[in-house]
Structure 1
């Protein structure tokens, strides 16, 4: 396994827009720490995982006029000052920004998806920047390194945590869920102490199976499988507790990954009565469900 220093160096080098590998998609079922996940550019239905519903995306030839602030919770900003003020006001809430242009058909096509997400994701702020609106918005795009539209940037605590361009509605919905989800049944773990406390709560015969999803912030397969984790956390709540930890969140999380010998992500650890009884490495939905059922005592035939 690569050293922590080498991993962090590689991670830092992947954040610039020009060389960034998008965090979602790709045909790979798992990502090694030092190998960025390939991008998968997909279009399809809007998977509103927060509400558990699906809504049809606009037809391929359909365009929608951008309305900015009039579209409910999507707020259009017109300058760097307004942009920075919105990020500060959001504090630790996720802020999703679409950088668009009036001449871009793809910008118009993806925008209704963002409006729909704004209706279901109450814990996320949504901003719209029309890059060709004025000199002020063009300068803002230059400052943020935007070279093509539509471009989506994700911010927390006024810090950019993720960015994508050329994505479809389902990809956008998955990214919003992964980076902004704080209200699902998935327990968010931020340290070794959090893990130990959760395990302690589910010891004994009355304890549930704990499924710990270990990933990284900029991991395509981790983002891809997370909507499944959210849905399972609701449908299997009687027998299973789902939790998540991003190994690159802090030193305590990274140390936990090393101690658990996690080399590839996403890795799912199955914990029962205080003991790790198994693990699954990958992002295959069917395989993951099969493993969870198996560790819950259900006979599974592959």
Structure 2
């Protein structure tokens, strides 16, 4: 019996060493989460096969519903996890908090606690070895590779120094995180499937194609472009000395998270961009909720603050208009 146990232990160690040796041969700095990596790979493979076979023909209602869910889930990530819970750029009343939590759950990402922790570490150690999705390690790593690998020592060390007590001590967020897996399954997969099939009359195969694969993966990868494309391509009109850029493509995909150079220069600004233009849906939504009283204490940088930084540190890619009207300083 002891001999059999010892043999199993040897095989286990050998297999572990084999994987570690393979990882090193490929040049990976972090240990790979093999189980999760395989799941992610297979999910994409199945998605391609399933969508090729069942996505077309689809009812127009199915396509519209998938787009609505895309916007809804994106709002949960951009307005909720990012601008509200991570950066505290505005405050909300309970109805809007619940709405944003269900929207965030529909995106199918990590828990609020993990999302906020990762993003606060990202801002503290942006584009260094302490950054969870360090862009200096390449597009693949900053886009999705970081999710498939274990965090390095510097990321873990800085993570322990980040205060997320505002998240853990909030009773609503605590309850949501406690049952996050259930909420994610319900709002990301079960309810969209049920609505698509039983209310919109779509076939179950087509509903899976559009909700579980097309809508979910499109939103998933769109949000990840903020970590990858918006740290690689674009211009830096506010601070040329940092890596994040202004990327219009990322803005179009993510309700204006592509104003990333501005965001890293002024992370407290609820707009995450200098202007609230037609494609800054997140800021428009926040403004609407402010008018009905569900959002309040919106924070933003003043024109003088923005111009001052842009003129001192910007790359000159945007023409600046000096602010001479002191009334502009009174903007919220």
TM-score by length of 1: 0.23
Q: Which has the larger radius of gyration?
A: 2
TM-score by length of 2: 0.22
Higher normalized strand content (fraction of residues): 1
